[in-house]
Amino acid sequence: MKRYPQDPAPPKASGYFRERITPPRMLMTKPAPAKASSASTEDLQRICSQVRRDIIRMTHGAASGHPGGSLGCTEYLVALYFKVMAHDPSAWDMDGRDQDLFFLSNGHISPVWYSVLARSGYFPVKELATFRKLDSRLQGHPTTHEGLPGVRMASGSLGQGLSVGIGAALAKRLNGDDRLVYTLHGDGELQEGQVWEAAMSAAAHRVDNLIATVDWNGRQIDGDVDDVMPLGDLPAKWKAFGWDVLVEDHGNDMDRVLAALAEAKSRTGKGRPVVILLRTEMGQGVDFMMGTHKWHGVAPNDEQAARALEQLEETLGDY
Ligand SMILES: Cc1ncc(C[n+]2csc(CCOP(=O)(O)OP(=O)(O)O)c2C)c(N)n1
Ligand SMILES: [Mg+2]
């Protein structure tokens, strides 16, 4: 259409969109907040035992997968999903507004995450039997393509979870949503450069509604982290990148994990992102899987699975 100088100017794009933008979330009625649970330490330890059984049975059933890091991160994930996070599995959606969010960046430890998701009500526990099977929603590394409730990003490729977590935390800030974002990373994963770009940006943008945790087990896929590519003074590094740093040396002690998460939470909202450097033991709970990197990504055979299960009490019923 031909335009003449006396015609009123067309609306600017910014004005056009401003008129149609949804009202800010903070002006809407908030749904009932998702509640954190009141589970006792003993309850949580019993859940850990069952989750460890699931990890052994899933990797054994698939004859592949990553039991080592999964066993080491069990206390952290059980604490998070069964006690600390405010979340409602029955109201799960991708946005997770008004809920605490979790992103697993070291996606190879999917067995522990899938078990915790199922056991906390995101999908049927019996679906754990499909781990790593064709057409299963429980792929070896989580993806969003399968539509598995609880999974909001793909994480087979290491190094991306912090970037995604920061984006989610900024979105929460924009939406007036005061819930927190939690992320988990492997220590070997920290060798990926994107992590440090993300760390820098979180400090620059004062992303203080995010709690990142590093599974500081000292092991990675084919050796000890110190032998493959040492991380140096890790607490000093995170501090230098502008983060509030917490070191917890007992990442497989439920009370200590709970205390670390509570302390981290108390440090949110103060202008800096928070990181917990959590010392864990790869293979924790199964004697012959501890003290080595060798169980990073090896499934137990029949005899090994039986020996492992003898060490882990069945507390909630096997799937
Ligand atoms: C970008 C990228 N590089 C390499 C790999 C291959 N890889 C999978 S797990 C792993 C080791 C990661 O070590 P860590 O994060 O410490 O995990 P842990 O062995 O402690 O479970 C590597 C290098 C990958 N998945 N993605
Ligand atoms: Mg590691």
Question: Which residue is associated with the tokens 């960046």?
Answer: 105
pLDDT of 214 = 99
CB-based burial, 270-296: b 16+ in 10 Å, e otherwise: eebbbbbbbbbbbbbbbeebbeebebb
Asked if the structure places residue 24 within a domain, the reply is no
Residues of the chain with pLDDT under 50: 1-33
158 C-alpha to ligand 1 centroid (Å): 6
Residues with C-beta less than 6 Å from any ligand 1 atom:
68-69, 106, 108-109, 156-159, 186-189, 192, 215, 217, 219-221, 282, 296
Asked if the structure places residue 8 within a domain, the reply is no
Asked if the structure places residue 242 within a domain, the reply is yes
d(CA 209, CA 137): 30
SS3 assignment, position 304: helix
Q: Are 133 and 68 in contact (CB under 8 A)?
A: no
pLDDT of 31 = 41
d(CA 117, CA 79): 12
Structural domain including 118 reads 38-310
Mutate to test the pocket of ligand 1, among 108, 213, 252 (most ligand atoms within 8 A of CB): 108
d(CA 238, CA 273): 10
pLDDT of 37 = 83
**CATH number for position 157:** 3.40.50.970
Domain count along the chain: 1
Asked if the structure places residue 9 within a domain, the reply is no
314 C-alpha to ligand 1 centroid (Å): 30
Asked if the structure places residue 238 within a domain, the reply is yes
Beta bridge partners of 277: 214, 247
Mutate to test the pocket of ligand 1, among 74, 113, 153, 158 (most ligand atoms within 8 A of CB): 158
Asked if the structure places residue 17 within a domain, the reply is no
pLDDT of 36 = 73
Ligand nearest to C-alpha 158: 1
pTM of the predicted model as reported, rounded to 2 decimal places:
0.91
